[in-house]
Amino acid sequence: MIAPRLAILGTLVVAAVTLTVSAALADGLNEYLEEADKAVYSGRQVVGTTWGGVQEMGIVDVRHFGGMAMVGSGPAYTMIGQGKVNALDSPDSALAYVPIARAPVNHAYDIAGGELSTRFGMTTKTIDIVENGVVRMRMVIDTATGATLETEVFDADGNRFRFSNMVDFSPSAAGMEDYVDDGEYRVMLPLDEAGVPDGAGRYRLIDAYPAPAEAEHGFYTDGLFRFSLFAFDGRHDVSNIENGHAWAVDGFEYVTVIKPAAVWVLWNAPDQTFALVGDLPPDHLEEVVADLPRPGQRNWFVRAWRRMFG
């Protein structure tokens, strides 16, 4: 008796949405990004964000090795990388995200530039990441290690929105090679179904996870910038948040908190509270909030998002 013959139907699309992927250019951008992740180096990095007359800056020690970064100041550090975060002085904080593998995403970014120059006596290459002819991000890369020495993010008018700068640099990991990860991680697996919107502006929802206070955490990217959206049921008062600034868009009021490396946007929609954090520039932020429930709006906006397979 012959056992039933099985065959596999078609190709499985893992991502919930298909995007226009510019194949050759997608490789270029991702190549640079992945090279940067593999680089071995250490040093001190200054980071700053300027928005609406407010500037926030910070300085951190960074050690980078094995796809992980050890970031901190003084003797206490946080380990970041490969879906994990572990603040070494508070072991309960260790989280590990295990997203499902998928093809790289690229909204529409091109790579330009490539001029050589020097930093710290090392040969560096300057790369522009361009969208519709406008430079959105510039990176200065050490050709020897692949490390990113400088970055700049520009708003739609070409003003510098964020920058980072290695003020000390060494092409070695300063002892990080000895680090053994014995953290007890809380593993975060993607939710099977998400209650957060599957897109906003050019950004697509990649996956969603549980978050504190029964919120949902959606992770979005356009291939270069990325943000997280935390959606809470009910009304949480965000108006008195420390260092909050009012931000008005299209007559709607949001609260923003500007950090050296990221921006928070918080607001109350009817029956929901949103907290968004990311590295995207202000014009992208405007597009994103336009596609999310507006502050004070009555219409309910929850789209169920399911992974489709086959």
Contacts (CB under 8 A) with another protein, residues 94-153: 95-101, 103-104, 139, 147-148, 151
Q: Return the DSSP state at 82.
A: T
Residues 216-255 that bind another protein (CB under 8 A): 217, 219, 221, 224, 226-228, 230, 232, 234-238, 240-243
Cβ of residue 36: shortest distance to another protein, in angstroms? 4
Cβ of residue 87: shortest distance to another protein, in angstroms? 7
The nearer residue to another protein, 278 or 295, going by C-beta atoms, is 278
Size of the site for another protein (CB under 8 A): 109
The nearer residue to another protein, 250 or 258, going by C-beta atoms, is 258
For residue 143, with 0-12 CB atoms within 10 Å meaning exposed, 13-18 middle and 19 or more buried, which class applies? exposed
Residues 21-60 that bind another protein (CB under 8 A): 30, 32-34, 36-37, 39, 45, 47, 56, 58-60
Angle at 220 between CA 217 and CA 225, to 5 degrees: 130
* Alpha-carbon torsion, ordered 124, 125, 126, 127, to 10 deg: -140
CA distance linking residue 206 with residue 183, whole number of Å: 26
How many Å is the Cα radius of gyration of the chain?
Answer: 21
Measured in whole angstroms, how far is the alpha carbon of residue 43 from the centre of its chain?
22
Cβ of residue 204: shortest distance to another protein, in angstroms? 13
* Alpha-carbon torsion, ordered 275, 280, 282, 288, to 10 deg: -60
At a CB cut-off of 8 Å and minimum separation 6, what does 34 contact?
none
The nearer residue to another protein, 109 or 250, going by C-beta atoms, is 109
The nearer residue to another protein, 22 or 251, going by C-beta atoms, is 22
Cβ of residue 202: shortest distance to another protein, in angstroms? 16
- Residue of 22, 50, 78, 126 that binds another protein (CB under 8 A): 78
At a CB cut-off of 8 Å and minimum separation 6, what does 241 contact?
255, 257, 266
Would you give the binding string for another protein spanning residues 175-214, x where CB under 8 A is met?
--xxxx-x--x-xxxx-x----------------x-xxx-
The nearer residue to another protein, 122 or 241, going by C-beta atoms, is 241
Would you give the binding string for another protein spanning residues 284-303, x where CB under 8 A is met?
--------------------
279: left (phi over 0), alpha (psi -120 to 50) or beta: alpha
Residues 264-283 that bind another protein (CB under 8 A): 264, 266, 275, 277-279
Measured in whole angstroms, how far is the alpha carbon of residue 200 from the centre of its chain?
15
CA distance linking residue 274 with residue 270, whole number of Å: 11
CA distance linking residue 241 with residue 210, whole number of Å: 23
User: Which range of residues in 111-119, 171-179, 246-254, 288-296 is near another protein by CB under 8 A?
Assistant: 171-179
Cβ of residue 53: shortest distance to another protein, in angstroms? 19
